[in-house]
Amino acid sequence: MSGKPRLTYCNGRGRMEPVRWLLAAAGVEFEEIFLETREQYEKLIKDGVLMFQQVPLVEIDGMKMVQTRAILSYIAGKYNLYGKDLKERALIDMYVEGITDLMQMILMFPFSPPEAKEKNLDSIKERATNRYFPVFEKVLKQHGQDFLVGNKFSWADVQLIEAILAVEEKIPAVLSGFPQLQAFKIRMSNMPTIKKFLQPGSPRKPPPDECYRETVLKIFRK
Ligand SMILES: N[C@@H](CCC(=O)N[C@@H](CSCc1ccccc1I)C(=O)NCC(=O)O)C(=O)O
């Protein structure tokens, strides 16, 4: 037992990528088990390892954690990325949940039917530009600090930089109207732990491709 957290999921972003981001941003090394076949997944279920027969699964501190939100909250609390008090935690929760709503659109995009892809991409652009990014542009402009909450690096900052980079992969000019977010992106990308995670060879996963899509559908088919 290495003592490192152990992540079980497909070899791709999916619902596990925010967990990889948060652990990496906290400077925590982790191990990964990749699900490649439905048989692997069915064996986890048979062995009673998955509380709701779902992954992500994160084994940490003797626990077999499932439910992405619970996993992320535990990691944020453990590594002091969850604010200094209840009100800062509430603000971080609101920011994270909002960004998660945007990221859910990106998560599901590879599974859009071909005829819906253009419309779904337009929806991502519309929501990022008009609903989500303006909130964080305003927050950063109003308090003039480097980080979203309490002038301290937190889970909210990690979730936002992940989202910015993910949206830019689809809409490269998405930050053109957001100078504060452009500066935030540079600041976060230069933080040592995030800079390391953005380097080739890190556990960060590439954008989903057809192979990943087919693997997910094969493993989790109903
Ligand atoms: N609420 C759970 C949902 C987890 C979930 O839906 N996991 C999927 C794998 S992610 C699958 C995935 C991967 C990429 C993009 C979209 C999606 I959905 C699963 O285990 N499905 C099997 C089942 O529910 O029987 C969480 O947040 O962890």
Per-residue pLDDT of the chain (222 residues; tens, 9 = 90+): 569 999 999 999 999 999 999 999 999 999 999 999 999 999 999 999 999 999 999 999 999 999 999 999 999 999 999 999 999 999 999 999 999 999 999 999 999 999 999 999 999 999 999 999 999 999 999 999 999 999 999 999 999 999 999 999 999 999 999 999 999 999 999 999 999 999 999 999 999 999 999 999 999 988
Taking the CA of residue 67 as reference, the ligand 1 atom at the shortest distance is: 28
pLDDT of residue 222: 80
Q: Whose CA is nearest to atom 14 of ligand 1?
A: 14
Contacts of 185 (CB under 8 A, 6+ apart): 161, 164, 165, 175
Fold adopted by 86-190? Glutathione S-transferase Yfyf (Class Pi); Chain A, domain 2 (1.20.1050)
Domain coordinates in residue numbering, the chain: 6-79+198-220, 86-190
Report residues whose beta carbon is within 6 angstroms of any ligand 1 atom.
Answer: 14-15, 53-56, 67-69, 107-108, 216, 220
pLDDT of residue 6: 98
pLDDT of residue 1: 55
Cα(55) to centroid of ligand 1, in Å? 6
Place of tokens 């530009």: 129
pTM: 0.97
pLDDT of residue 208: 96
The preferred substitution site among 10, 13, 15, 222 for testing ligand 1, maximizing ligand atoms within 8 Å of CB, is 15
Closest CA to 154 of 60, 66, 59, 72: 72
Taking the CA of residue 110 as reference, the ligand 1 atom at the shortest distance is: 15
pLDDT of residue 220: 95
Taking the CA of residue 13 as reference, the ligand 1 atom at the shortest distance is: 14
Q: Whose CA is nearest to atom 12 of ligand 1?
A: 14
ipTM entry: 0.96
**CATH number of the domain at 6-79+198-220, out of 1.20.1300.10, 3.40.640.10, 3.20.20.105, 3.40.30.10?**
3.40.30.10
Cα(191) to centroid of ligand 1, in Å? 31
